[in-house]
Structure 1
Amino acid sequence: MEFIHILSLFVIGLIAAFINVNAGGGSALTLPALIFLGLDSATANGTNRIAVILQNLSAVASFKKEKYEQFNLSIKLSLFTLPGSVIGAITAVKIGDELFQKILGIIMIAVTITMLLPQSKNSITIDNADKKLTPSTIIYFLLIGFYGGFIQVGIGFLLMIVLHKAMKFSLIYVNMHKVFIALFLTIPAFIIFIINHNVNWYWGLILALGNATGGWWAAKISVKKGDRFIRVIIILAILIMALKLIGIIL
């Protein structure tokens, strides 16, 4: 029976990483799986961070191999998320998140609608690294850091909104920056979960192997298939996650 659990968790990690790199919400699969294995919600939340770190580390390396990287800008954006990440993780070990998930589900439906609308001439993408950061953009990243530290589920969607809509990156570059930022902001949150003894290394490393494998190949597919493919994955992932968070589907 344990072998089946190990194999199932690896496969779930593989699928979740593909969803995470190309869209977001893969943790909506991995967290329930960890809870099913007997972990309490706080420990599942902390354990999931092992997989998220290795998944994004693998994806960053894969994007770099495909010649997609803007490390200076990625690091700058990541630094803005760190204060929020620490505060969010501290909050996560103390309170629940049921109401927050429902609010996020409603937001995700709104995001889906905007993704389905035809893009205007003003939404032309510019992928150079010389982006001027406005005060509102900095605030967005601070808030994203808090949410990422708090629960992680759906962090990819929030990063995509800011990187694509506010910063005007194409979806390939969005994903490239997204996995780097998600990697960066997860590390301090993960340390806090470790300090509070909310990490199960055994199940976490098994899940991480699946996530790391999925993250590597997801980045390659993202580059080869382009924006249209990524947009379809985003819409499907957002809809499924939103319905799940609201409680329409189990």
Structure 2
Amino acid sequence: MSALELLALFLAGIGAGTINAVVGSGTLITFPTLLALGVPPVTANMSNSLGLVPGSVAGAWGYRAELAGQRRRVLRLLVFSTTGGVLGAVLLLLLPPGAFEAVVPVLILLGVALVILQPRLARAVAARAERRGTTPGQGDTAWWVPAAAFATGVYGGYFGAAQGVLLMGVLGIGVAESLQRLNGIKNVLVAVVNGVAGVLFIALSGLLDLGDDAQVDWLLVAVIAVGAVIGGFLGAAVGRRLPPLALRATIVVVGLTAVAVIVVS
């Protein structure tokens, strides 16, 4: 891979880290970039999941003030989210590569749709909270939220694009907290799911004969990770001031481009 291609991937990592900290759809930046650079889809997904972990950790650290007082809730949801992430990662490794290639366009389109619908979802969540008359820090977690966290964990372990958007939808509807405090929880859950999936990718790819198209590429991981950490801190610090419409437009364009590339190839 040329220096120019690595630079493009590094910049994509910065963008993904920033978006993950603020919105939660950074995979729609880095994954299509990897595909455009000729990386096999499964290898791209495995390397991308690992590379984005440090950025998610940086984003979670940037939101540490919003996480105050939520330790018990976070730990409970981590159990379900992590279990789902394990299942999703195992499915990625055990299902035929052709199955992943077939479902990727659908998953990307789903992620794009979620990003497009996010403003409407946010308004619906805010209206629901107002009708309930709840205030941040005083609400309980709905009984179904852990199960939904498990489902988003499966999705995140298998692919992960817009996992954060899915989680914000779940948490926003089922947990009576401010969206910023929920965003802190989201960053922690995404970081752990991607990290656990990455560990499984490393362990199982060595034990199973998955072929050259299903291996972790450590150079790609490192380049994405460095960019994602920069983006994670950037997103936590100034991301709330960035125009949401511009962020969503970028994700939509890149996502649709990825679908076009996959279908044509």
Shorter-normalised TM range: 0.7 to 0.9
What SS is found at the alignment partner of 1:134? coil
Whole-angstrom distance in 2 between the partners of 1:14 and 1:218: 9
Match of 1:76, SS state, is helix
Say yes or no: does 1:205 pair with 2:222. yes
Question: AA paired with 1:158?
Answer: L
Q: Check conservation: 2:86, 2:196, Cα contact below 8 A.
A: yes
Identity across aligned pairs (percent)?
A: 22
Structure 1 residue 115 displacement after superposition: 3.4
Q: Which residue of 2 aligns with 1:221?
A: 238
Picking from 174, 180, 187, the partner of 1:172 is 180
1:196 match: secondary structure: helix
CA contact (8 A) 2:139 2:176 kept: no
**Residue in 2 aligned with 1:114?**
121
- Which structure 2 segments of 5+ residues have no match? 207-214, 261-265
Q: How does 1:1-250 map to 2 (within 5 A)?
A: 2-64=2-64, 66=65, 68-69=67-68, 70-93=70-93, 94=95, 95-96=99-100, 97=103, 98-115=105-122, 119-120=126-127, 121-122=130-131, 126-128=135-137, 132-194=140-202, 195-196=204-205, 198-222=215-239, 225=240, 229=241, 233=244, 237-238=247-248, 241=251
Instruction: Name the Cα RMSD after superposition.
Output: 2.9
Q: Deviations over 1:25-71 (max 9, x none)?
A: 1111101222233321111101012222101111222223x574333
Query: Normalization by structure 1: what TM-score?
Result: 0.82
Select between 96-105 and 17-26 the one with higher mean Cα deviation. 96-105
* Stretches of structure 1 lacking an aligned partner (at least 5 in a row): none
For 1:144-201, what per-residue CA distance to the aligned partner results, in whole angstroms no more than 9, with x for missing partners? 1111111011001011112222213222212211111111122221122212253111
Distance 1:67 1:105 in 2: 27
- TM-score between the two structures when normalised by the length of structure 2: 0.78
CA contact (8 A) 2:114 2:165 kept: no
Residues 217 and 190 (structure 1 numbering): CA distance in 2 closer, same or farther, change over 3 Å?
Answer: same
Residues 34 and 125 of structure 1: is their aligned pair in 2 closer, same or farther, counting only changes over 3 Å? Answer: farther
SS of the residue 1:135 aligns to: coil
For the 8 Å contact 1:75–1:181, the answer to whether it is kept is no
